[in-house]
Amino acid sequence: MNLFADIRSLVIDALNAMTSDGVLPEGLSLDNVTVEPPRDPGHGDMATNAAMVLAKPAKMKPRDIADALAAKLVADDRIDIAEVAGPGFLNLRLAAGVWTGLVQGILDDDRYGRSAMGAGQKVNVEYVSANPTGPLHVGHTRGAVFGDALASLLEYAGHAVTREYYINDGGAQVDVLARSVYLRYLEAHGKQVAFEDGTYPGDYLVPVGQALKDKVGDAYVDKGEQFWLADIREFATEKMLDLIREDLAMLGVKMDVFFSEKSLYGTGRIEGALKALQDRGLIYEGVLEPPKGKTPEDWEPREQTLFRSTEHGDDVDRPVKKSDGNWTYFAPDIAYHYDKVERGFDALIDIFGADHGGYVKRMKAAVSALSDGRVPLDVKLTQLVKLYKNGEPFKMSKRSGNFVTLRDVVEQVGSDVTRFVMLTRKNDAPLDFDFDKVLEQSRDNPVFYVQYAHARVRSVLRKAEAQGITLTNTPKIEDEAEVAVAKKLAEWPRLVEIAARTHEPHRIAFYLYELASDFHALWNRGNDRPELRFLQDGNNDSSAAKIALPRAVAVVISSGLGILGVTPAEEMR
């Protein structure tokens, strides 16, 4: 059930009838005809741009089209008024029975808002993908919440989603981890050690060093690096992944796939991906021009193996192999994304930190080349999070050594608050996370405000049960405040599809806040006008009908919070 889609279908049918009647010429495309909420709610319940977008191809005045369309639309029982405004916009007011039917439909089908838009399309969402060298920090937290909510949103809209974590275990940073664990291992044997530059000093490696001692005893003590480096790399990486999985679990995030970068090396997979590009004429030997401004790490004034990425939208061609024969950082990433393409995904989404902005075009170029333009790649960047407590920047974590961890944040405010707050800004906008404000019980705190709306509905239902009220799915909607809530409920399926299409789960959080605001306004109106209260003294039938609307509100809030990974509140404490 999607009221906006239903009314658009009505508009399209009316336009087709106008074509049959000779009012409109044959062959007009109706793809750009929309039905949306009007910018000013005072103008009506919905508005269509049909006359404006068809005027030029039809060689007619917009107002003439709008007048003819209005006459067609008012013949339908669902349309009370079709009013032409300005040069040709058409504002629609719906019949009162539409809102009653909408609320009843929501209560009859708790899948309200779910969409088949995705049509089972296979989408890979890769997120977090932090180096396995320590606990997740607050920046990873935002990426984890955004990625997880986006994956849930796409599933809700009918896609088949795979959640994936790319383990960066193929680079030099894992050697640094192994050396750092070795120092903690020596500490566990009572030896004095010094953490110098190029090692990780966080306390989180203390238990890893002890675990290594428990496993191998003194086998690595006083031994050279060549004796233990490979073994400790593998041991430490697994321990860090266990820690990362625990951190993600605290946030309610569970991955379907953990893909190891290391698995690409020595297996021919990098070579295979580059051969696929070579077969397309996109690999060559050459020397890049020196870049303007800051010189990137992968630029050399010598001949290298280059990917002709400019043929797929990049600014410059990119090196994949250095002049010394070693792979660049880009080469295994190409192979990894080729693996995704080969696994049969219809679309790929990567979620990167803000510092990876320069990587976007080359990665899109690679996927475009490897899939012959068939598989789109959308890269979402998550901006930084600034933490505050008591009006001051939140101090660094001793446990991590030099940053605030995901665990620090969740232990302070809980998973639900953390997740919701992380989605109160668009992913590419900076986010201030104030530990005091996110726990505040006020309208200014969107987490509280939305949860309070759901808790209020649950409170009404508990009282109704205590009074022996038998619920009905047929609502009683009379007052303008009740209609305002019903209108907001009508927007839910449309909002879901827009958010899924644009890959913007923050729209769900914004919508829930607006719905909660309309619901609280109705609740407060009942304080002054007893006939608007959900529980009508001495009239169980009227109460049951009044309760139907808030029950529908709870269905939608619960669905929306489910997409965000937040548990709806039964009561506020």
d(CA 349, CA 159): 13
pLDDT of residue 288: 83
Each residue's pLDDT tens digit, 92-141: 999 999 999 999 999 999 899 999 999 999 999 999 999 999 999 998 99
Each residue's pLDDT tens digit, 168-217: 998 889 999 999 999 999 999 999 999 888 888 889 999 999 999 999 99
180, two tokens: 């750092």
pLDDT of residue 107: 97
Counting Cα atoms < 13 Å in the Cβ hemisphere of 342 gives: 10
Reply yes or no on whether the pLDDT at 167 is more than 60: yes
Query: DSSP for 516-536?
Result: HHHHHHHHHHHHH-GGGSSS-
Please give the backbone phi and psi of residue 280, each rounded to the nearest 5 degrees, phi first: -95, 10
R_g (Cα) of the chain, nearest Å: 29
pLDDT of residue 293: 67
The DSSP secondary-structure symbol of 137 reads B
Each residue's pLDDT tens digit, 418-439: 999 999 999 999 999 999 999 9
Each residue's pLDDT tens digit, 301-322: 789 999 999 999 999 999 999 9
Each residue's pLDDT tens digit, 495-530: 999 999 999 999 999 999 999 999 999 999 998 999
Reply yes or no on whether the pLDDT at 540 is more than 70: yes
> What CA dihedral angle connects 137, 142, 144 and 146, to 10 degrees?
180
Which band of pLDDT confidence, cut at 50, 70 and 90, is reported for residue 253? Answer: very high
333, two tokens: 């990433």
Reply yes or no on whether the pLDDT at 396 is more than 60: no
> 29 exposed, middle or buried (CB, 10 Å; 0-12, 13-18, 19+)?
exposed
What predicted TM-score, i.e. pTM, was given to this entire model? 0.94
pLDDT of residue 295: 66
